[in-house]
Amino acid sequence: MEKNKRWPVFGPAPVTFVLIFVMIFADFFGGDIVPFDQWMQQFSSSQVEEETPPQSPLARLVRGKDRRKLETTGFACDVAEHSIVCLADLPVRINTKNNITVYDSSSHKVQEETSVKPYALQKDKYLLQYITPVRIVHGDNQPPVCQYNHEVPAVIFSSGISGNIFHEFNDILIPLFITTKHFQSRVFIILEDYDPSFVAKYRKIFSRMSSYEVMNPAANRSVHCFPGMILGLKYHDNLALNPSDIPGGYSIHDFRLFLGETYGLKFTHVSQIRRPTLMFISREKTRKILNEDEMITMMKELGFRVIVATAEEARNVNKFANTVNSCSVLVGAHGAGLTNELFLSAGAVMVQVEPLGLEWAAAKYYGNPAPGMHVHYLRYLIEPEESSLTELYGRHHSVITDPESVYAKGYREVRAVYLDQQDVRVNIVRFRKTILQALKLVKNASLTR
Ligand SMILES: *[C@@H]1O[C@H](CO)[C@@H](O)[C@H](O)[C@H]1NC(C)=O
Ligand SMILES: *[C@@H]1O[C@H](CO)[C@@H](O)[C@H](O)[C@H]1NC(C)=O
Ligand SMILES: *[C@@H]1O[C@H](CO)[C@@H](O)[C@H](O)[C@H]1NC(C)=O
């Protein structure tokens, strides 16, 4: 399983590409990945309506009909465009002996069973294949006997897709914040498909989200009683939080404050950084900048202190978050490293080098979320002459002139050509203008504050 090579695929823009993806994926991965399709339809999607704020933090995770269902039966699911979150506001037994099975204690005439893959992006059939389903059993009169009793609800989600910082934040950590922040650490995390390096990497975040050690169910293999349960995490948007959506009230600003406190970040506004400092994210395998040295010389000539960061350094998030935060400008080619924009101070600038055929992904995953963070976003859209694909295929090949024709061949082709085969030789004269613009923004931020 090559996790670092995976790439987020689905979303609303542009429609043609998305449709093609959906078709292709249905082909590649079959239709049996989401086992609860029909079952899902029994639960309504969330509705926004005025009602009194609930007392129970669990109830904040559902609205309307689903909340009434939770209040009357003790069990309900929020089924939204992206995510599924199932809640039990009554005692549950969780058996971790073989995968995870949840027994709820609501009264059912007949025993019913279903399963959920606890992953925030239910639409992403590609990534969903790495998530082990959790069984939910309703109405079993003889559930297994508890070996451990817990005082706080369990939250169950999977780290099956870990390994890429974009997915780690976008699909797991931000959704975890959205779903459980208001429990004020009074939740017990059960991490399915437990990845020890993921837990170690984000230990600081986990220790603030829960007062308990993160459980590896496959190593624990016992029966646990909890007063309630949250299965799955709520998702809002790419590197974004929507304060009006369930559970209500959290914005990307709150998440960035949380990161600031968690990692002890020093700078909240770019004007606090004395000398203009630029971090360049150097990619080593794919989408490399072939004339890095020339680029760095130009940046230094403009007056920047330049920090060149590698993927290896970025893996130590505790340290790296602070390094990013001390920079006024973050520069990199389209890729997961740009997720580090989360650690920039307000008024800082993110510059994305957009290789051919990837403009929409560049905007969707990293560009569009920036303004919400009060980070300025500058695009550097390369010209065909700057792409190594031109050398490889020739200037008039459809790969260069008509990316949509490559998209029509499906995701694997797109991935192979535009993401894995393409390097960039930046036009220094043109790129200098973008960096100069970044410098102006940073200087202006200091003057006008
Ligand atoms: C656990 O789940 C995986 C993935 O669905 C499945 O292949 C495996 O057989 C399950 N193991 C048990 C013991 O049920
Ligand atoms: C299983 O989890 C319980 C409760 O957190 C803990 O006390 C116990 O030591 C764990 N057992 C193993 C084998 O990890
Ligand atoms: C400088 O900052 C001020 C205040 O934020 C803003 O109104 C103005 O447009 C900025 N000027 C430039 C050149 O960015």
The pLDDT tens digits for 239-252 are 999 999 999 999 99
Rounded to the nearest angstrom, the distance between the alpha carbon of 220 and the centre of ligand 2 is 6
Give the ligand with the smallest distance to the CA of 147. 2
Is residue 148 within 6 Å of ligand 2 at its C-beta? Answer: yes
Enumerate residue ranges in the chain where pLDDT < 50. Answer: 1-50
Give the ligand with the smallest distance to the CA of 441. 3
Give the ligand with the smallest distance to the CA of 444. 3
Domain with CATH 3.40.50.360 in the chain: 264-447
Give the ligand with the smallest distance to the CA of 217. 2
Pocket, ligand 1, Cβ cutoff 6 A = 98-99, 132-133
Q: Kindly report the CATH class assigned to 264-447.
A: alpha beta
* Measured distance CA(137)–CA(102) in Å, rounded: 6
Rounded to the nearest angstrom, the distance between the alpha carbon of 126 and the centre of ligand 1 is 18
Q: Could you tell me the pTM of the whole model?
A: 0.88
Is residue 220 within 6 Å of ligand 2 at its C-beta? Answer: yes
Of 96, 97, 116, 132, which is best to mutate to test ligand 1, by the most ligand atoms within 8 angstroms of its C-beta?
132
Index of the ligand 2 atom closest to the CA of residue 222: 1
Index of the ligand 1 atom closest to the CA of residue 98: 13
Of 146, 220, 223, 224, which is best to mutate to test ligand 2, by the most ligand atoms within 8 angstroms of its C-beta?
220
pLDDT, tens only, 191-242: 999 999 999 999 999 999 999 999 999 999 999 999 999 999 999 999 999 9
* Measured distance CA(119)–CA(175) in Å, rounded: 9
The whole-number pLDDT of residue 53 equals: 61
Rounded to the nearest angstrom, the distance between the alpha carbon of 124 and the centre of ligand 3 is 40
Nearest CA to ligand 2 atom 2: 220
The whole-number pLDDT of residue 166 equals: 97
